[in-house]
Structure 1
């Protein structure tokens, strides 16, 4: 049968093939039939995959679940296999492939469905796992994995969360007992953001914590951000203002400051109103006909600067800013009002503008 087009997967290591490719569901484990679901969750008899159709060791497709992928790859290797393809249950892919014992890759659910269907038809299937390669492309860095926390803010919807995104997926990291591995999660993204703030504080020691935060948020890169499918553009509930970019944050021209006292007063647990905080983001969960926000900025530059507002409003919403342009001497402040007017946007839906 006609094979599917080339499938992109995630893996680190050498390639393998051309070689036979089979699905684990077609082979019994030990005891018999305990691997019929294709999850590769138990050992296979010796040489099960060592010489498929006289063409040598096979690449074996395993379904997700029950045990770790590293153990599954060991089972395949011990049974004579030469490579492994791990199917993910969703569009999410993430790292950990340094632990594989033979050439392998993880593929997304839609690609897994194509491969699964192909292997179920005909016979004598052949495939090649290409060796991993390194590429540098800024557009590959801003895809949001399914596991990332998202908005809206469940307790304070008038404050957008997240603020920004930071690298937290397939991060090369030092680990005890090994030279390095791949990791992911908040435990990687949070230190990256904290480190960015520390670098900014060193370069701009006179800035308050709120000003540092506003510099990070207001200069974040939003251009390439997509949802987990790598196609659909991300929205602020996925990425906040975008990816942290320290060089621009250090040179931010306008800063939003806020006092500790005002944060305390705005605490909703004390009947405060967080919507009044002087943040670089704006949100309103109950905007009926029209809503407004007032913000105050200061000029962080060493010279007089001039700014003009650039508005990107969604369909059904009109946005205005007053004043729409202004000039400030170093350290001077300017307040402005942002007005959102509903002009046909669907009731009960979130709308995003910039």
Structure 2
């Protein structure tokens, strides 16, 4: 721990406040940042009880502490644990992951963040089959900003970005002209005189860059992505706008060819619609290197530009300007509590459901239609988003659930494709394989389910055409996968639909 942080569960970072209020914050709360009205917010499960545990410090987490916090949460009788922390890459040999297994055994679902190391393959965290691992995707709202530029010769340029801070006009200069294009350290006082300073993103927190130029006398900041990355409207110490890599290239070109000085105006905090259901570039992905026989992430949920609570007393510069009770941040840390709150609602609706049943309901009712990769166009695959984006309108009534016991999941370490999970992943396909799944009816009447498979031409998935399940009963069926025509080293994806008949 550092001297500036609290030694209790009181939040001095903002991360815990944001995640807990996302999962269970009150409904109908007016959110403001730096005096600006950002609208009404609500947690996913308003008024649910929240217990916060001090398991980590500013310098990181010890596995013994996080495991102890999980054990205490079990003793305290919680229904769901949100774990917006990375880890779980080797779950059968990790103390915290085994603590999550104990939570699962005791009826507690753990929602865990997939990690922020995407979009490369095999970067996903929390590969435990007994957790629900959550990727991050966009929602359809953004806090936009606009940068307007003009030079002394009359040339103009307008660029779009994101911003929460107020408007500002000043001369635009490059931080690189002052020896630090990445704005990594505080500039000496008097370096600037109210200019808008252009910084390249990277290496340190975005908010720290704004703080560093402010120390040198800047009046505003433009932060540009050097490559395609997500945009984030942070709580900066001065008026600032964050722009994409193509806008950054246009800005640098304009400055390089300008006639005389360039004047810029930042307009920020404009709430407007944006493209939702886009996987965040940072969201960690699964891949063919997952060896345990379960593929992650399991689902995706909103994790970009999430408006929720903040501590008014951040202990570091990266926490942003003090005094704010709300913040807008991004990460799979933000998507995980959306699922945790959703699990709370399902537990309230179905008190007898096990963690596996809750996980199954969220996975089997998720959607992929309209869900795209970070380029905003290409449809996702299962390594991006698992079963898809959670859908609470459907998750409360899935009809069937697929779940397994903690013991079986533990014993199936080397062949999890045989575990009764609501997904199937075989890392080393022998050509043809047959597995079984057992569904449990959540209905009060007997039901018939038609099966339908979507698969590429060189992959065959065979399931009996109709499955009958008695009310409240179980039914086991076989799934045969024939990948003998798939070239070595390639991966294929398929989807099995169970659609209730009359």
Fold equivalence (TM over 0.5): yes
Please state whether the residue corresponding to 1:291 is helix, strand or coil.
strand
* Structure 2: unaligned runs, 5 residues or longer: 1-152, 313-323, 496-502
1:151 to 286, 289, 302: 286
Mean CA deviation greater in 1-10 or 163-172? 1-10
1:131 to 262, 268, 271: 268
Larger relative strand fraction: 2
Query: Counterpart in 2 of 1:11?
Result: 163
2:183 to 20, 39, 55: 39
Which residues in structure 2 correspond to 1:133-212 (within 5 Å)? 133-136=270-273, 139-140=275-276, 142-152=277-287, 154=289, 156-177=291-312, 178-212=324-358
Q: Does 1:226 align with 2:372?
A: yes
Kindly report the root-mean-square deviation, in angstroms, between the aligned alpha carbons of the 2 structures.
3.1
Q: In 2, Cα distance between the equivalents of 1:66 and 1:326?
A: 54
Alpha carbons 2:402, 2:438 under 8 Å: kept: yes
Query: Counterpart in 1 of 2:200?
Result: 63
For 1:289-309, what per-residue CA distance to the aligned partner results, in whole angstroms no more than 9, with x for missing partners? 323332121221223333222
- TM-score calculated relative to the size of structure 1: 0.80
Distance 1:66 1:329, change over 3 A: closer
Please state whether the residue corresponding to 1:316 is helix, strand or coil.
coil
Larger radius of gyration: 1
Alpha carbons 1:40, 1:63 under 8 Å: kept: no
Distance 1:327 1:120, change over 3 A: same
Please state whether the residue corresponding to 1:262 is helix, strand or coil.
helix
Q: In 2, Cα distance between the equivalents of 1:60 and 1:218?
A: 49
Distance 1:163 1:66, change over 3 A: closer
Alpha carbons 1:41, 1:67 under 8 Å: kept: no
Alpha carbons 1:226, 1:232 under 8 Å: kept: yes
Which residues in structure 2 correspond to 1:1-354 (within 5 Å)? 7-16=159-168, 21-26=172-177, 28=178, 34-35=179-180, 37=181, 39=183, 41-43=185-187, 46=190, 48=192, 50=194, 59-65=196-202, 67-74=204-211, 76=213, 81-95=218-232, 97-102=234-239, 104-124=240-260, 125=262, 128-136=265-273, 139-140=275-276, 142-152=277-287, 154=289, 156-177=291-312, 178-268=324-414, 273-321=415-463, 323-342=464-483, 344-354=485-495
| Matched length | 331
Q: In 1, Cα distance between the equivalents of 2:156 and 2:455?
A: 41
RCO (CA 8 Å, sep 6+): is it higher in 1 or 2?
Answer: 2
* Structure 1: unaligned runs, 5 residues or longer: 29-33, 51-57
- TM-score calculated relative to the size of structure 2: 0.58
Distance 1:47 1:206, change over 3 A: closer
Alpha carbons 2:230, 2:282 under 8 Å: kept: no
1:2 Cα offset (Å): 11
Alpha carbons 1:226, 1:233 under 8 Å: kept: yes
Q: In 1, Cα distance between the equivalents of 2:157 and 2:364?
A: 41
Distance 1:129 1:337, change over 3 A: farther
Please state whether the residue corresponding to 2:460 is helix, strand or coil.
strand
